[in-house]
Amino acid sequence: MSTATAIVKPVMPERHYLNDNYGIRSWLLTKDHKRIAILYLFSISFFFLLGGIFAALIRLHLLTPNGELFQADTYNKLFTMHGVNMVFFFLIPSVPAVLGNFLMPIMVGAKDLAFPKVNLLSWYIYMVGATFSLIAMVSGGVDTGWTFYAPLSSGYLRTHVIAMAVGILFAGFSSIFTGLNFIVTVHRMRAPGMTWGRLPLFVWANYAASLIMILGTPVLAITLILLALERGFHIGIFDPKLGGDPVLFQHMFWFYSHPAVYIMILPGMGVVSEIVTCFSRKRVFGYSFIAFSSIAIAVFGFVVWAHHMFVAGISVYSALVFSLLSYAVAIPSAVKVFNWTATMYKGSVKMDTPMLYAVAFIGLFTIGGLTGLFLAALGLDVHVHDTYFVIAHFHYVMVGGMVTAYMGGLHFWWPKLTGRMYPEAPAKLAAIVTFIGFNLTFFPQFILGYLGMPRRYWAYPPEFQVLNVLSTAGASILSVGFILPLLYFLYSLKYGEVAGDNPWQATGLEWETSSPPPTHNFHQIPVVTKEPYAYGEDAEVPVVH
Amino acid sequence: MSTSQTTTTEHHPALAHQFDSMEQQQDASTFGMWVFLLTEIMMFGGLFTAYLIYRLKYYPAFVAGSTSISVGWGFANTLVLIGSSFTMAMAVWAAQKGYRKSQVWLLLATMVLGAAFLGVKAKEYYDKWDECHIPGHVIGKGFNTWGGCSVTNKSLGNIAEEIRDPKHHGNPNIPEGAAEQTARQTEIFFSFYFAMTGLHAFHMVIGLGLLTWLLLRARGGEFGPSYYTPVELGGLYWHFVDIVWIFLFPLLYLISRHQHGV
Amino acid sequence: MSENSHPTPGLYVLILLALVIGTCLTWGIAFVDLGIWNPVVALTIAVIKAVLVILFFMHVHYSNKLTKLTISAGFFWLMIMITMSLSDYLTRSFMLR
């Protein structure tokens, strides 16, 4: 804890996980969780770019009301591919597979995850899924919407549904293995002294997300298998013409896909917890409340799925129950928002880039979450279901929430992953540009939806054009906000300032080892004696860049 | 902490680098297998949920479909699988005790019983193919419930008739039209029959693969009191597959066997 | 994991016998008309058989709390899926007045 660190310039450690072994085989056959995290970083960045390109095409098409850019069938493929790529191949793996894989063992004080070979397998399974998805895309794409509702997907469309379903199936298994690894690691691999009450909130968040991964994803697996069987063998499981029940597909699909949104957001909330406390120089407010709220979200998230089906013909009594429970599930999320705010209150807040993203998350997630309550109200949902209101809602939580948190986390832990700092000025600019672009893109969509513009429509009434143009303008700004980090992160790999072990003066085991860490994480397994987030009057102010 | 025979300076050759002790490794691996079985419970569970909903919706059809599959073979198969669970549990015991020859024979017995189960399943699937009870119109001559499909016996497979035939626990009071409609609806029963037993059989094939691998390692003398985790994990997987069948048997084979519903 | 925390072969044989008897019972009772109780009895016996396999063949009786919690969680989640899905289907025909 010497203040001499401000005077001595940090140097890169001589040997670390990136240069310990050279050659493509050392990467493709690695068992090191940190290298696997980097492999995932490349994969999901590719799909983020791909999904983003589809989004750009959608927004360009929607500049005019008459659908002049693409034909209707093509437009259907665009929004389907955007959704599938973003949800299954980017959002669900993003924080767990990149930041989680990298940090979880270090944060609990272990040498690696419990099952390193299973970890590598999970990346390969992801890549197999990605391959199927790309094959489906290149063969002409899928146009069912990312929700694959039967019987449209199981009998009526001539597109490559089965290939895409297989791709998603594999991506799902990849996440199951990641979740399994995390759960066993947290239960059985903690360092001496690392009690549950001393775990970083990032660990709690990923643990809760992992519970969802292993309990929910298998139901998606069987749903996709049944869909493929129906499509391949013309049997009537979901097709009413053959005696099946289309609502059953929705039940089975949403049983996974609703908890899936909590798989996506919980790790992001974990990132925000870590960033907010570090950049407020203050112990997080209500540690146990935040920790248990993560578990509560994971559990409650499983009993609300039919709020996606309020207008599908389910029983009104069942809908009432699901609506009530959907209100309940908002409470633990609200607890977190209050606690983060209370952490910042009277803290010594420093608005470095990670904190910009974290604060943006708190605001944007709150808006997204509250609009979710609009949708949970039965009467209101009848009006706004399948409109742009829903689209705006989930983009606020997914992009304004999750992607923002992911970007914040990438910036926060970039020095740990690479040993180098990103350049702060372009980073701050990118954060602000992203915030402006995002709100300009999606806030008009709340209004559009409320006014009645349906989703997944390739053309719209001309009176909606102004709002659509605003939205597209926002999207072009947003894309700049996402391209900038790609550029300066790459730049930082060669020209970035060497970061040193703990450039943020943060607490946590990952900051007590070198940047980048050695292959075995620690030179000596730590023994934990401190409570988490021991920021306070005796904590140091971070080194100014 | 560890009561194994390894010294403090030597690592057991099977100790993986991320673990501190064989005990931690066994603990974590067993827990990991249980978490994996949890995912399997949910996957089969999804299928069971869908089955349940359709059984409630098309109950007479499910009765008819259930009556048309062989309860004798199902019963025999259940006993075979329970027997294989027994030999598997014994194999884990033998591995833990270090009895090399016993573990090999017991693993082999488990595999033989498992293969027998699959053989019976193949026979049952063949019978259904023969009677044209495979749902959809892709495999075989297509689904039909009025018989005449089987090359061995033209009178087989007439579900509409069986529904009204007292010799098949049928009820002659049911009108012909209703019986025909119920018979057509059995296609959904058979969809679930094949999906559930098919998924189960797929897991058994994987199980046989795992057992083969364990057998080879057991023959090499790898397992003993200080390290038998893979056999234990294989046992957990195999018992799970057995439990799935314990539920499949009554749910598929024993729906209202005493009489067709009205 | 101490040596006497595992079942003996004798116990395994007993469990096997119980499972075989349970299977025979299930099969036999299926041919007796108990009306609505047939599936209840069949599933109850199946649950008992599954519990025996879990507790003794899978050593859960001798395992730690975490294992028992994990299995309970699994069945609890399965019950959530089944009951809440059924709660839709079974209440559709109730009339709102």
Closest residue in chain B to residue A112, using alpha carbons only: B18
pLDDT at res. A124: 97
Domain map of chain B by residue range?
A: 22-54+78-143+187-252
Question: Is A452 in a helix, a strand, or coil?
Answer: coil
Q: How many CA atoms lie within 13 A of A97 on its CB side?
A: 37
Domain map of chain C by residue range?
A: 3-90
Average of pLDDT values for A426-451?
A: 97
* Residues in A touching B35 (Cβ below 8 Å): 180, 183-184, 214
Is 50 exceeded by the pLDDT of residue C3? no
pLDDT at res. B7: 44
User: Is omega for the bond preceding A200 within 30 degrees of 0, making it cis?
Assistant: no
Q: Name the nearest CA neighbour of B61 among B143, B182, B179, B184.
A: B182
* Residues in B touching A110 (Cβ below 8 Å): 18
**Residues C31, A471: Cα–Cα separation, whole Å:** 67
Confidence grade of residue B260 (pLDDT, cut at 50, 70, 90): low
pLDDT at res. B8: 47
pLDDT at res. B138: 82
How many Å is the Cα radius of gyration of chain A? 23
Question: Are the Cβ atoms of B34 and C23 closer than 8 angstroms?
Answer: no
Query: What homologous superfamily does CATH list for B22-54+78-143+187-252?
Result: Cytochrome c oxidase, subunit III, four-helix bundle (1.20.120.80)
Of the candidates A215, A302, A318, which has its C-beta nearest C87's C-beta? A318
Structural domain span for residue A340: 30-512
Question: Over the stretch A306-319, which tens digit does the pLDDT of each residue have?
Answer: 999 999 999 999 99
pLDDT at res. A377: 96
Angle at B13 between CA B12 and CA B14, to 5 degrees: 90
Is 90 exceeded by the pLDDT of residue C65? yes
* Residues in C touching B254 (Cβ below 8 Å): 26-27, 30, 38, 42
Which residue matches tokens 């203040």? Answer: A3
Which residue matches tokens 């020095």? Answer: A415
Q: Is C96 on the interface with A (CB under 8 A)?
A: yes
Question: Over the stretch A353-386, which tens digit does the pLDDT of each residue have?
Answer: 999 999 999 999 999 999 999 999 999 999 999 9
User: Is the CB of residue A427 less than 8 Å from the CB of residue A411?
Assistant: yes
Range in B9-18, B62-71, B104-113 with the lowest mean pLDDT: B9-18
- DSSP codes, B48-113: HHHHHHHHHHTHHHHHHHHHTS-HHHHHHHHHHHHHHHHHHHHHHHHHHHT-HHHHHHHHHHHHHH
Question: Are the Cβ atoms of C92 and A219 closer than 8 angstroms?
Answer: no
**Residues B238, B107: Cα–Cα separation, whole Å:** 11
Tokens of A280: 């407020």
**Measured CA distances, B175 to A387, B164, B187 (Å):** 49, 8, 20
Angle between helix A353-376 and helix A388-395 axes, rounded to 10 deg: 150
* Residues in B touching C19 (Cβ below 8 Å): 82, 85-86
Which residue matches tokens 């033989």? Answer: B112
Helices and strands: H and E segment counts in chain A: 17, 0
Q: List, as ranges, residues 250-309 from A with C-beta within 8 Å of C.
A: 251, 255, 302-303, 306
Is 90 exceeded by the pLDDT of residue B80? yes
Tokens of A131: 């391959």
To the nearest whole Å, the CA of C33 is away from the closest chain B CA by 6
* Residues in C touching B168 (Cβ below 8 Å): none
Average of pLDDT values for B159-174?
A: 84
Question: Over the stretch A72-89, which tens digit does the pLDDT of each residue have?
Answer: 999 999 999 999 999 999
Confidence grade of residue B112 (pLDDT, cut at 50, 70, 90): very high
- DSSP codes, A332-401: HHHHHHHHHHHHHTTS-----HHHHHHHHHHHHHHHHHHHHHHHHSHHHHHHHTTBHHHHHHHHIIIIII
Confidence grade of residue C96 (pLDDT, cut at 50, 70, 90): low
User: Is the CB of residue A105 less than 8 Å from the CB of residue A199?
Assistant: no
pLDDT at res. B9: 47
Does residue A427 belong to any structural domain of this protein?
yes
Of B261 and A29, the one with more pLDDT = A29
The letter for the amino acid at B237 is Y
pLDDT at res. B262: 41
pLDDT at res. C5: 64
Question: Are the Cβ atoms of B254 and C74 closer than 8 angstroms?
Answer: no
User: Is the CB of residue A218 less than 8 Å from the CB of residue A279?
Assistant: no
User: Is the CB of residue B89 less than 8 Å from the CB of residue B113?
Assistant: no
pLDDT at res. A545: 41
* Residues in C touching B90 (Cβ below 8 Å): 9, 12
Cβ neighbours for A359, distance < 8 A, ≥ 6 positions apart: A344, A351
Q: How many CA atoms lie within 13 A of B217 on its CB side?
A: 18
**Residues A62, A421: Cα–Cα separation, whole Å:** 39
Of how many residues is chain B composed?
A: 262
**Residues C44, C49: Cα–Cα separation, whole Å:** 9
**Residues A504, A536: Cα–Cα separation, whole Å:** 14
Question: Are the Cβ atoms of A180 and B39 closer than 8 angstroms?
Answer: yes
Tell me B259's DSSP state: -
Q: How many domains does chain A have?
A: 1
Cβ neighbours for B125, distance < 8 A, ≥ 6 positions apart: B194
Tokens of A311: 């207008």
Give me the residues paired with residue B224 across strands: B227
Sign of CA pseudo-dihedral A181, A183, A188, A194? positive
Which residue matches tokens 């038998």? Answer: B228
Sign of CA pseudo-dihedral A196, A201, A205, A210? negative
Which residue matches tokens 């893979």? Answer: B230
Average of pLDDT values for B144-150?
A: 83
Question: Are the Cβ atoms of A215 and B138 closer than 8 angstroms?
Answer: no
Question: Over the stretch A245-294, which tens digit does the pLDDT of each residue have?
Answer: 999 999 999 999 999 999 999 999 999 999 999 999 999 999 999 999 99
**Residues A129, A163: Cα–Cα separation, whole Å:** 9
Average of pLDDT values for A96-101?
A: 96
Average of pLDDT values for B54-74?
A: 92
pLDDT at res. B172: 86
pLDDT at res. A543: 45
Question: Over the stretch A384-429, which tens digit does the pLDDT of each residue have?
Answer: 999 999 999 999 999 999 999 999 999 999 999 999 999 999 999 9
To the nearest whole Å, the CA of C63 is away from the closest chain A CA by 15
Cβ neighbours for A102, distance < 8 A, ≥ 6 positions apart: A33, A34, A37, A38, A413, A416, A417
pLDDT at res. A215: 97
Cβ neighbours for A507, distance < 8 A, ≥ 6 positions apart: A278, A530, A532, A533, A534, A535, A539
Cβ neighbours for A481, distance < 8 A, ≥ 6 positions apart: A430, A431, A433, A434, A435, A436, A437, A438
* Residues in C touching A314 (Cβ below 8 Å): 88, 92
Tell me A146's DSSP state: T
- DSSP codes, A220-276: HHHHHHHHHHHHHH---SS-GGGT--HHHHHHHHHHHHHHHHHHHHHHHHHHHHHHH
Is 50 exceeded by the pLDDT of residue B4? no
Sign of CA pseudo-dihedral C40, C44, C47, C53? negative
pLDDT at res. B10: 63
To the nearest whole Å, the CA of A326 is away from the closest chain B CA by 22
**Residues A266, A259: Cα–Cα separation, whole Å:** 10
How many Å is the Cα radius of gyration of chain B? 23
Give me the residues paired with residue A498 across strands: A420
**Residues A19, C88: Cα–Cα separation, whole Å:** 57
Q: List, as ranges, residues 6-45 from B with C-beta within 8 Å of C.
A: 23, 26, 30-31, 34-35, 37-38, 41-42, 45
**Mean pLDDT, rounded, of chain A:** 93
Is 50 exceeded by the pLDDT of residue A54? yes
Percent of chain B with pLDDT over 70: 95
pLDDT at res. A526: 85
Question: Over the stretch A298-353, which tens digit does the pLDDT of each residue have?
Answer: 999 999 999 999 999 999 999 999 999 999 999 999 999 999 999 999 999 999 99
Q: List, as ranges, residues 132-191 from A with C-beta within 8 Å of B.
A: 176, 180-181, 183-184, 187-189
**Measured CA distances, B20 to A74, A108, A219, B118, B228 (Å):** 56, 14, 35, 41, 17
Question: Over the stretch A496-545, which tens digit does the pLDDT of each residue have?
Answer: 999 999 999 999 999 999 989 999 898 888 888 888 888 865 444 444 44
Is 60 exceeded by the pLDDT of residue A2? no
Closest residue in chain C to residue A245, using alpha carbons only: C89
User: Is omega for the bond preceding A516 within 30 degrees of 0, making it cis?
Assistant: yes
User: Is the CB of residue A216 less than 8 Å from the CB of residue A259?
Assistant: yes
Range A373-376 contact pairs with CB under 8 angstroms and sequence separation of 24 or more: A373/A326, A373/A327, A373/A330, A375/A307, A376/A307, A376/A323, A376/A326, A376/A327, A376/A330
Tokens of B158: 């007439």
Is 80 exceeded by the pLDDT of residue C60? yes
The letter for the amino acid at B53 is I
Average of pLDDT values for A26-40?
A: 95
Supply φ then ψ for residue C56, to 5 degrees: -110, -50
**Residues A313, A315: Cα–Cα separation, whole Å:** 7
Tokens of C19: 């499972």
Percent of chain A with pLDDT over 90: 86
To the nearest whole Å, the CA of A242 is away from the closest chain C CA by 19
Q: Is A317 on the interface with C (CB under 8 A)?
A: yes
Of B5 and C42, the one with more pLDDT = C42
Give me the residues paired with residue A387 across strands: A454
pLDDT at res. C1: 42
Question: In the complex, which subunits touch A with 3 or more CB pairs below 8 angstroms?
Answer: B, C
Of the candidates B35, B185, B188, which has its C-beta nearest A180's C-beta? B35
Q: Is A314 on the interface with C (CB under 8 A)?
A: yes
User: Is the CB of residue B21 less than 8 Å from the CB of residue B11?
Assistant: no
* Residues in C touching A321 (Cβ below 8 Å): 84, 87
